[in-house]
Amino acid sequence: MPKGPREISETGYYHVVTRTVGGIPLFEDDKDRKRYLFLLKKYHDELGIRIIAWVLMNNHVHLVLDCGEDANPTPFMRRLDIAYAAYFRAKTDHKGHLFQEDYWSKPILNDEQLISTVDYVHRNPERACIASMTGYRWSSMQEYLGKLWVVDTSIILELMGNVESLVAFVGRMDDVVRMRDKDVPRQKLTDDEALLLAKQMAGVETSTELRSRDVKLRPKLMSKLAENGVTQRQIANVFGISKSTVSRLLAKPS
Protein backbone atom coordinates (compact mmCIF):
# COMPACT_ATOMS: atom_id res chain seq x y z
CA MET A 1 0.00 0.00 0.00
CA PRO A 2 1.08 3.61 -0.42
CA LYS A 3 4.18 5.02 1.19
CA GLY A 4 3.61 8.50 2.54
CA PRO A 5 0.71 10.92 2.04
CA ARG A 6 -1.19 11.04 -1.24
CA GLU A 7 -2.52 14.05 -3.11
CA ILE A 8 -6.08 14.77 -2.03
CA SER A 9 -8.53 15.63 -4.79
CA GLU A 10 -10.71 18.66 -4.17
CA THR A 11 -13.33 17.17 -6.51
CA GLY A 12 -13.19 13.71 -4.90
CA TYR A 13 -12.34 12.09 -8.26
CA TYR A 14 -9.24 9.94 -8.79
CA HIS A 15 -7.67 7.87 -11.54
CA VAL A 16 -6.25 4.75 -9.88
CA VAL A 17 -4.07 1.98 -11.31
CA THR A 18 -3.08 -1.21 -9.51
CA ARG A 19 -0.49 -3.57 -11.05
CA THR A 20 0.89 -7.01 -10.35
CA VAL A 21 4.43 -7.67 -9.18
CA GLY A 22 6.67 -8.47 -12.14
CA GLY A 23 3.82 -8.13 -14.62
CA ILE A 24 2.38 -11.59 -13.91
CA PRO A 25 -1.17 -12.16 -15.24
CA LEU A 26 -3.81 -10.91 -12.81
CA PHE A 27 -6.61 -13.03 -14.25
CA GLU A 28 -6.32 -16.61 -15.47
CA ASP A 29 -9.90 -16.87 -16.73
CA ASP A 30 -13.29 -15.17 -16.70
CA LYS A 31 -14.08 -16.63 -13.28
CA ASP A 32 -11.22 -14.53 -11.89
CA ARG A 33 -12.49 -11.40 -13.62
CA LYS A 34 -15.98 -11.97 -12.24
CA ARG A 35 -14.52 -12.43 -8.76
CA TYR A 36 -12.66 -9.12 -9.02
CA LEU A 37 -15.87 -7.37 -10.09
CA PHE A 38 -17.78 -9.02 -7.23
CA LEU A 39 -15.23 -7.60 -4.79
CA LEU A 40 -15.31 -4.22 -6.52
CA LYS A 41 -19.05 -4.06 -5.91
CA LYS A 42 -18.76 -5.44 -2.36
CA TYR A 43 -16.39 -2.72 -1.18
CA HIS A 44 -18.15 -0.06 -3.24
CA ASP A 45 -21.30 -0.89 -1.27
CA GLU A 46 -19.55 -1.14 2.11
CA LEU A 47 -17.41 2.01 1.85
CA GLY A 48 -19.68 4.22 -0.23
CA ILE A 49 -17.12 4.77 -2.98
CA ARG A 50 -18.68 5.64 -6.32
CA ILE A 51 -17.19 3.81 -9.32
CA ILE A 52 -17.16 6.02 -12.43
CA ALA A 53 -15.20 3.70 -14.75
CA TRP A 54 -13.09 0.53 -14.74
CA VAL A 55 -11.19 -1.74 -17.09
CA LEU A 56 -9.57 -5.12 -16.39
CA MET A 57 -6.37 -5.69 -18.36
CA ASN A 58 -3.83 -8.53 -18.35
CA ASN A 59 -1.70 -7.47 -15.39
CA HIS A 60 -3.33 -4.28 -14.16
CA VAL A 61 -6.64 -2.54 -13.52
CA HIS A 62 -7.68 1.08 -14.15
CA LEU A 63 -10.37 2.64 -11.97
CA VAL A 64 -11.96 6.08 -11.89
CA LEU A 65 -13.34 6.66 -8.41
CA ASP A 66 -15.37 9.29 -6.59
CA CYS A 67 -14.14 9.08 -2.99
CA GLY A 68 -15.89 12.21 -1.76
CA GLU A 69 -14.40 15.32 -0.16
CA ASP A 70 -11.24 15.05 1.97
CA ALA A 71 -10.90 11.33 1.23
CA ASN A 72 -8.52 9.17 -0.79
CA PRO A 73 -8.69 5.70 -2.35
CA THR A 74 -6.43 3.94 0.20
CA PRO A 75 -9.04 2.20 2.42
CA PHE A 76 -10.96 1.01 -0.63
CA MET A 77 -7.88 -0.18 -2.55
CA ARG A 78 -6.40 -1.88 0.52
CA ARG A 79 -9.49 -4.02 1.08
CA LEU A 80 -10.00 -4.73 -2.61
CA ASP A 81 -6.38 -5.78 -3.27
CA ILE A 82 -6.06 -7.87 -0.10
CA ALA A 83 -9.32 -9.72 -0.76
CA TYR A 84 -8.53 -10.47 -4.41
CA ALA A 85 -4.94 -11.51 -3.63
CA ALA A 86 -6.22 -13.97 -1.00
CA TYR A 87 -8.64 -15.45 -3.54
CA PHE A 88 -5.94 -15.67 -6.23
CA ARG A 89 -3.39 -17.33 -3.95
CA ALA A 90 -5.94 -19.89 -2.76
CA LYS A 91 -6.89 -20.75 -6.34
CA THR A 92 -3.44 -20.81 -7.95
CA ASP A 93 -1.08 -21.53 -5.02
CA HIS A 94 0.74 -18.32 -5.96
CA LYS A 95 3.48 -17.46 -3.46
CA GLY A 96 4.38 -13.97 -2.32
CA HIS A 97 2.81 -10.64 -3.15
CA LEU A 98 0.41 -10.38 -6.07
CA PHE A 99 0.12 -6.60 -6.34
CA GLN A 100 2.86 -4.00 -6.34
CA GLU A 101 3.03 -2.48 -2.89
CA ASP A 102 2.25 1.06 -3.96
CA TYR A 103 -0.77 1.51 -6.20
CA TRP A 104 -0.77 4.65 -8.39
CA SER A 105 -3.35 7.41 -8.08
CA LYS A 106 -3.78 11.00 -9.21
CA PRO A 107 -6.53 13.54 -8.52
CA ILE A 108 -8.88 14.53 -11.34
CA LEU A 109 -9.34 18.26 -11.03
CA ASN A 110 -12.25 19.19 -13.32
CA ASP A 111 -15.01 17.90 -15.59
CA GLU A 112 -12.82 18.00 -18.72
CA GLN A 113 -10.21 15.78 -17.08
CA LEU A 114 -12.91 13.46 -15.77
CA ILE A 115 -14.43 12.90 -19.22
CA SER A 116 -11.06 12.47 -20.92
CA THR A 117 -9.80 10.08 -18.23
CA VAL A 118 -12.91 7.90 -18.48
CA ASP A 119 -12.44 7.80 -22.26
CA TYR A 120 -8.74 6.93 -21.77
CA VAL A 121 -9.65 4.06 -19.41
CA HIS A 122 -12.25 2.67 -21.80
CA ARG A 123 -9.84 2.82 -24.76
CA ASN A 124 -7.13 0.76 -23.03
CA PRO A 125 -8.09 -2.44 -24.93
CA GLU A 126 -7.89 -0.55 -28.24
CA ARG A 127 -4.43 0.81 -27.47
CA ALA A 128 -3.30 -2.72 -26.54
CA CYS A 129 -4.74 -4.10 -29.83
CA ILE A 130 -7.03 -6.46 -27.90
CA ALA A 131 -10.52 -5.26 -28.86
CA SER A 132 -12.53 -2.16 -29.70
CA MET A 133 -13.71 0.04 -26.86
CA THR A 134 -17.33 -1.05 -27.27
CA GLY A 135 -16.45 -4.67 -28.07
CA TYR A 136 -14.31 -5.38 -25.00
CA ARG A 137 -16.28 -7.34 -22.37
CA TRP A 138 -14.26 -6.39 -19.30
CA SER A 139 -14.72 -2.65 -18.97
CA SER A 140 -17.40 -0.32 -17.71
CA MET A 141 -18.09 0.73 -21.30
CA GLN A 142 -20.51 -2.20 -21.25
CA GLU A 143 -22.25 -0.57 -18.28
CA TYR A 144 -22.60 2.71 -20.14
CA LEU A 145 -24.12 0.70 -22.99
CA GLY A 146 -26.75 -0.69 -20.62
CA LYS A 147 -25.40 -3.71 -18.68
CA LEU A 148 -25.32 -2.05 -15.26
CA TRP A 149 -23.34 -3.64 -12.43
CA VAL A 150 -21.39 -1.27 -10.23
CA VAL A 151 -20.81 2.02 -12.09
CA ASP A 152 -22.67 5.26 -11.44
CA THR A 153 -23.15 6.29 -15.07
CA SER A 154 -25.20 9.39 -14.27
CA ILE A 155 -22.20 11.70 -13.75
CA ILE A 156 -20.62 11.15 -17.16
CA LEU A 157 -23.89 10.86 -19.06
CA GLU A 158 -25.09 14.14 -17.55
CA LEU A 159 -21.88 15.82 -18.74
CA MET A 160 -21.94 14.19 -22.18
CA GLY A 161 -25.69 14.24 -22.81
CA ASN A 162 -25.99 10.62 -23.95
CA VAL A 163 -23.99 7.43 -24.48
CA GLU A 164 -23.61 8.10 -28.21
CA SER A 165 -21.62 11.25 -27.40
CA LEU A 166 -19.45 9.27 -24.98
CA VAL A 167 -18.66 6.62 -27.62
CA ALA A 168 -17.86 9.28 -30.22
CA PHE A 169 -15.71 11.36 -27.84
CA VAL A 170 -11.94 11.35 -28.28
CA GLY A 171 -10.21 13.34 -25.57
CA ARG A 172 -7.00 15.34 -25.83
CA MET A 173 -4.20 13.44 -24.13
CA ASP A 174 -3.18 16.67 -22.37
CA ASP A 175 -6.50 16.53 -20.51
CA VAL A 176 -6.08 12.91 -19.38
CA VAL A 177 -4.99 12.14 -15.83
CA ARG A 178 -2.78 9.18 -16.68
CA MET A 179 0.39 7.40 -15.71
CA ARG A 180 3.60 8.82 -17.13
CA ASP A 181 6.68 6.73 -17.91
CA LYS A 182 8.39 8.10 -14.83
CA ASP A 183 5.48 7.03 -12.61
CA VAL A 184 6.01 3.29 -13.10
CA PRO A 185 9.39 1.70 -13.74
CA ARG A 186 9.42 -0.92 -16.46
CA GLN A 187 9.79 -4.48 -15.22
CA LYS A 188 11.19 -7.20 -17.44
CA LEU A 189 8.62 -9.74 -18.55
CA THR A 190 9.42 -13.43 -18.58
CA ASP A 191 9.30 -15.23 -21.93
CA ASP A 192 6.01 -16.87 -20.94
CA GLU A 193 4.49 -13.50 -19.99
CA ALA A 194 5.69 -11.99 -23.28
CA LEU A 195 4.04 -14.81 -25.25
CA LEU A 196 0.80 -14.50 -23.27
CA LEU A 197 0.71 -10.74 -23.86
CA ALA A 198 1.33 -11.21 -27.60
CA LYS A 199 -1.52 -13.72 -27.91
CA GLN A 200 -3.89 -11.44 -26.02
CA MET A 201 -2.99 -8.42 -28.13
CA ALA A 202 -3.42 -10.43 -31.34
CA GLY A 203 -6.68 -12.00 -30.13
CA VAL A 204 -5.50 -15.58 -30.67
CA GLU A 205 -5.18 -18.59 -28.38
CA THR A 206 -2.15 -20.47 -29.71
CA SER A 207 1.40 -19.72 -30.85
CA THR A 208 0.60 -21.30 -34.22
CA GLU A 209 -2.23 -18.84 -34.81
CA LEU A 210 0.03 -15.99 -33.76
CA ARG A 211 2.80 -16.96 -36.19
CA SER A 212 0.34 -17.39 -39.04
CA ARG A 213 -1.03 -13.84 -38.72
CA ASP A 214 -0.78 -11.62 -41.79
CA VAL A 215 2.83 -10.39 -41.97
CA LYS A 216 1.56 -6.91 -42.86
CA LEU A 217 0.00 -6.68 -39.40
CA ARG A 218 3.14 -7.71 -37.55
CA PRO A 219 4.97 -4.36 -37.32
CA LYS A 220 2.10 -2.65 -35.48
CA LEU A 221 1.75 -5.55 -33.05
CA MET A 222 5.52 -5.67 -32.54
CA SER A 223 5.57 -1.96 -31.74
CA LYS A 224 2.83 -2.41 -29.15
CA LEU A 225 4.75 -5.29 -27.56
CA ALA A 226 7.93 -3.23 -27.41
CA GLU A 227 6.01 -0.36 -25.80
CA ASN A 228 4.85 -2.81 -23.11
CA GLY A 229 8.37 -3.93 -22.21
CA VAL A 230 8.78 -7.00 -24.44
CA THR A 231 12.39 -7.26 -25.65
CA GLN A 232 13.38 -7.69 -29.29
CA ARG A 233 14.68 -11.18 -28.50
CA GLN A 234 11.31 -12.12 -27.00
CA ILE A 235 9.44 -10.66 -29.99
CA ALA A 236 11.66 -12.72 -32.31
CA ASN A 237 10.86 -15.88 -30.33
CA VAL A 238 7.14 -15.10 -30.31
CA PHE A 239 6.98 -14.86 -34.11
CA GLY A 240 9.69 -17.42 -34.90
CA ILE A 241 11.85 -14.93 -36.81
CA SER A 242 15.34 -13.50 -36.35
CA LYS A 243 16.14 -10.65 -33.98
CA SER A 244 17.64 -8.69 -36.88
CA THR A 245 14.30 -8.89 -38.72
CA VAL A 246 12.54 -7.56 -35.62
CA SER A 247 15.01 -4.68 -35.38
CA ARG A 248 14.48 -3.82 -39.04
CA LEU A 249 10.67 -3.88 -38.74
CA LEU A 250 10.66 -1.78 -35.56
CA ALA A 251 12.94 0.77 -37.18
CA LYS A 252 10.49 1.38 -40.04
CA PRO A 253 8.25 4.43 -39.62
CA SER A 254 4.66 3.47 -38.80
CB 147 within 8 A of CB 220: no
Nearest to 140 by CA among 45, 228, 36: 36
Give the model's pLDDT for residue 128: 82
Give the model's pLDDT for residue 154: 95
Domains, the chain: 13-183 (3.30.70.1290), 191-251 (1.10.10)
Number of residues that this document lists for the chain:
254
H helical segments located in the chain: 30-47, 74-92, 111-122, 124-127, 141-144, 154-160, 163-168, 191-202, 207-211, 218-227, 232-239, 243-251
Amino acid at site 227: E
Amino acid at site 30: D
DSSP-assigned letter for residue 17: E
Dist. CA 205–CA 203, nearest whole Å: 7
- CB within 8 Å of 205: residues ≥ 6 apart: 199
Look at phi and psi of residue 203 and say left if phi exceeds 0, alpha if psi is from -120 to 50, else beta: left
Give the model's pLDDT for residue 253: 64
Question: How many Å is the maximal CA-CA distance in the chain?
Answer: 55
Give the model's pLDDT for residue 187: 53
Amino acid at site 84: Y
**pLDDT string in tens for the chain (254-residue length):** 444 457 888 899 999 999 998 778 899 899 999 999 999 999 999 999 999 999 999 889 999 999 987 788 999 999 999 999 999 999 988 888 899 878 899 999 999 999 999 999 999 888 887 889 999 999 999 999 998 889 999 999 999 999 999 999 977 777 788 766 445 444 566 777 788 888 878 888 887 888 887 778 888 888 888 877 788 888 888 888 888 888 888 887 65
Give the model's pLDDT for residue 2: 43
